Amino acid sequence: MIKIFKTFGGYSEINEVEKGCWINVTQPTAEEVYLLTEKFSVPEDLVRDTLDTDERPRLEFDYDWTLVIMRIPVKSGNNSIPFQTVPLGIFMTEHFTMTLCLQDNEILPIQEHSPFREQYRQITDSFNFILRLFVRSGTTYLRYLKEINQQTAVLEHDLEKSIKNSELNKLLKMEKCLVYFVTSIKANEIVLAKLRNSKKITSEINEDLLEDAMIENKQALEMAQIYSDIQSGMMDAFASVISNNLNVVMKQLTLISILLMIPTLIASFMGMNVPNDMENAPWAMPAIIVVSLLVSFTGVLLFRKRQWF
């Protein structure tokens, strides 16, 4: 989908490109990709790179355009992992600024006219617009990290009594999310540093906004690293917990088998086809049952005394 706005704030949607406008492109079709390269003169290799899921963040300059690629967090639509990161490209020329992403996201939601309506009233500079995207990206990383932490806490509670691998697999998916987050945030940090030190940026950069972006990015990185380190230790610990829980279940089943074997042994012995002076006694059957129960109950008391049950 392609939407064209008069300003970076996205307050007024227009039909044709004009100087200083913002073009927001999300999940482009093959026809829209062709339109980007033909009508808007975006190099085909840049479009292809931005739509590549594994593209790394970078800052690239040419004589008539500038490209910034950052990685942003999104909720995954499949069952593999709950969160992942995708590239968001910002292509800037003297006539327009274009944002391009292969997936709908919360940084620049395609259905909302102005993602900055609640915080900013006017955005006129493309590089400060990029800094605002970094701030929104860092805030979104932090919110998703809190969700990962909450889901991990639920898995911890389930894993304490689990003997299956399903919960452990879910915990592994959370760890994969954190690895993606840490890698992407580190790469975004490098791009921010290049934006700060680049001599090719002629417009005045809002230092306060740049500092906010770097603080949000650093906080997200530190939180992601902490959660990742905790989960790495949890994976080893809970693997041992699952093994121990399985051993406890096997021990209990073995003790139950032993207790059930006692009346079976007595009944088999008394039921042998040999004289035992009880074959004609009317009290033989109740006596055998009582003795079997007493011996089994004694076994239960013995096991509980040794804390095997």
pLDDT tens-place values along the chain, 309 residues long: 888 887 776 667 788 878 878 888 888 888 888 888 888 888 888 888 888 888 888 888 888 888 889 999 988 866 678 888 999 988 888 888 888 888 888 888 766 666 665 544 456 677 888 888 888 888 999 999 998 888 888 877 766 665 566 767 777 888 888 888 999 999 998 888 888 877 666 666 677 888 888 888 899 999 988 888 887 777 666 667 767 767 777 877 787 787 777 777 777 766 666 666 666 677 777 777 787 778 778 777 777 777 666
**25, 97 in Cβ contact below 8 A?**
no
Residues 19, 210: Cα–Cα separation, whole Å: 25
Q: Which residues contact 147 (CB under 8 A, 6 or more apart)?
A: 82, 83
Query: Torsion-angle region of residue 307: left (phi > 0), alpha (psi -120 to 50) or beta?
Result: left
Proportion of the chain in helix, strand, coil states, percent, rounded to 5: 55, 15, 30
Enter the pTM of the model. Answer: 0.74
pLDDT value of residue 272: 66
pLDDT at 209: 80
Tell me, what's the pLDDT at 10?
Answer: 65
Res 120: pLDDT: 47
Measured CA to CA, the distance from residue 43 to residue 223 in angstroms comes to 37
